[in-house]
């Protein structure tokens, strides 16, 4: 079973690459292998690319650039293949819980950023550019830019704390600033919540006062009114005898009768609760209302509704 799950993971990973990306990666890998096979014909000093066979200096320059281009393709291909395989292994081996999925996605995003920087430096080094000076200059630029990008740094730090303090994970249902949604992703800078087809993107440093609604089972509630004319004792006898017969998909515990919740303007409000996962709480509440209404109807228990009483004044004889 585990082997089948691993194969499915690999298939999903391959599909996620996309057909075009996969074809490009295969072509680059084939070109890299061919370059290693024909190394002596491409990179040596007596190769056709380094002999200057043309009288045109421009054409000779183009030919001399071909080995550098091939080396660049080799480096890019090797790094991309290693990164892809590493990410695939991490996803297959460590994807066991929502927390691990969240950490994996964050690490993957950071790894992609690091790989992009390494690729740029490696390719520039192949073309003979002094990368030492480039790295030193990049450090100074990073320091200057960092002073002006404090909000970005705050987002990154907040994202790290969210993950490692396990405040919430991908797949959890949370409420932030009145928006309730499922956590789709936790990135280096932002967190994405999805609800009813809408996606809310929040900067990590702006996430405060989070209500995580998936750590424990949620409570679905149904409030049903009965007429004041109904005998409360009879109604509660019906509830005690019939409530346990109601079966609703998604409940983790049986529905409970909590008692009288309020004395309304036109009826007595009874409260019913049940434990269920947060992701099905609304469907469970709708089903609870339906089943309770059917139970009351079957036992002749009246549910009040608004009525309008009109009094007509009698006309006096002149």
Return per-residue pLDDT of the chain as tens, 318 residues: 444 554 555 556 555 556 666 677 777 777 777 777 766 666 666 666 666 666 666 666 676 677 777 777 778 888 888 887 787 777 777 666 666 776 777 777 778 778 887 888 877 777 777 667 666 666 656 655 555 567 777 887 888 888 777 888 888 999 998 899 999 988 878 899 998 888 999 999 899 889 998 888 899 999 999 998 888 999 999 999 999 899 999 898 899 999 999 998 888 999 999 999 998 999 999 999 999 999 999 999 988 877 666 767 766 654
The answer to whether 227 and 265 are in contact (CB under 8 A) is: no
Task: List the structure tokens of 213.
Answer: 């609604």
**In the block, residue with structure tokens 């450090």:** 139
Q: Which two tokens stand for residue 9?
A: 């993971």
Task: Report the CATH fold assignment for 127-214.
Answer: SH3 type barrels. (2.30.30)
Strand partners, 181: 174
Closest residue by Cα to residue 152 from 207, 190, 112, 118: 190
Exposed, middle or buried: residue 227 (CB in 10 Å: 0-12, 13-18, 19+)?
A: middle
The per-residue pLDDT for 2 is 41
Are 98 and 39 within 8 A, CB to CB? Answer: no
Report the candidate in 222, 315, 304 with the shortest Cα–Cα distance to residue 270: 222
Domain with CATH 3.30.70.100 in the chain: 218-298
Q: How far apart are CA 84 and CA 105, in angstroms?
A: 14
**How many CB atoms are located within 10 Å of the residue 159 CB?**
23
What is the Cα 235 distance to its own chain's centre?
46
Rounded-to-integer distance, Cα 182 and Cα 196, Å: 10
Cβ atoms 219, 277 nearer than 8 A = no
d(CA 302, CA 248): 23
Model pLDDT, residue 9: 56
Q: What is the β-pairing status of strands 211-212 and 198-203?
A: unpaired
Give phi and psi for 171, each to the nearest 5. 100, -15
Q: What is the enclosing helix (H) or strand (E) of 265? A: none
The class level of CATH for 218-298 reads alpha beta
CA dist., res. 181 & res. 283, Å (int): 16
- Four-point Cα dihedral 86, 92, 93, 97, nearest 10: 120
HSE, side-chain direction, 13 A CA sphere, residue 224 = 27
How far apart are the C-alpha atoms of 300 and 290, rounded to whole Å? 16
CA-to-CA separations, 148 to 31, 152, 188, in angstroms, rounded: 43, 9, 18
pLDDT attached to residue 3: 46
Provide CATH 2.30.30.60 ranges for the chain. Answer: 127-214
Residues forming a β-bridge with 304:
none
Nearest partner of 48 among 62, 58, 36, judged by Cα: 62
The C-alpha atoms of residue 82 and residue 278 are separated, in whole angstroms, by 40
3-state secondary structure of 305: coil
pLDDT for the residue numbered 148: 58
């Amino acid at each position: 079973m585990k082997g089948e799950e691993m194969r499915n993971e690999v298939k999903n990973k391959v599909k996620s690459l996309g057909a075009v990306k996969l074809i490009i990666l295969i072509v680059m890998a084939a070109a890299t292998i061919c370059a290693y096979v024909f190394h002596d014909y491409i990179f040596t000093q007596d190769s056709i690319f380094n002999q200057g066979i043309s009288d045109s200096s421009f054409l000779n320059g183009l030919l001399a650039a071909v080995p550098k281009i091939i080396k660049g393709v080799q480096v890019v291909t090797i790094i991309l293949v290693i990164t892809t395989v590493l990410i695939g292994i991490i996803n297959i081996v460590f994807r066991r819980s929502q927390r691990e999925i969240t950490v994996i996605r964050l690490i993957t995003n950071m790894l992609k950023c690091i790989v992009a920087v390494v690729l740029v430096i490696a390719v520039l080094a192949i073309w003979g550019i002094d990368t030492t000076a480039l790295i030193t200059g990049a450090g100074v630029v990073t320091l200057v830019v960092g002073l002006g990008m404090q909000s970005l740094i705050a987002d990154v730090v907040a994202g790290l704390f969210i993950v490692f303090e396990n405040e919430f994970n991908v797949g959890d249902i949370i409420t932030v600033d009145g928006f309730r949604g499922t956590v789709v992703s936790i990135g280096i800078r932002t967190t994405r919540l999805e609800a009813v087809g809408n996606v809310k993107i929040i900067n990590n440093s702006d996430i405060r006062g989070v209500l995580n609604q998936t750590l424990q089972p949620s409570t679905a509630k149904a409030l049903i009114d009965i007429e004041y004319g109904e005998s409360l004792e009879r109604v509660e006898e019906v509830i005690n005898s019939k409530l346990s017969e109601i079966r609703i998909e998604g409940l983790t515990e049986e529905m409970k009768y909590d008692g009288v919740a309020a004395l309304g303007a036109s009826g007595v409000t009874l409260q019913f609760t049940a434990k269920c996962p947060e992701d099905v709480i609304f469907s469970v509440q709708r089903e609870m209302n339906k089943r309770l209404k059917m139970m009351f109807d079957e036992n002749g228990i009246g549910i009040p509704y608004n009525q309008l009483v009109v009094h007509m004044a009698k006309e006096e004889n002149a």
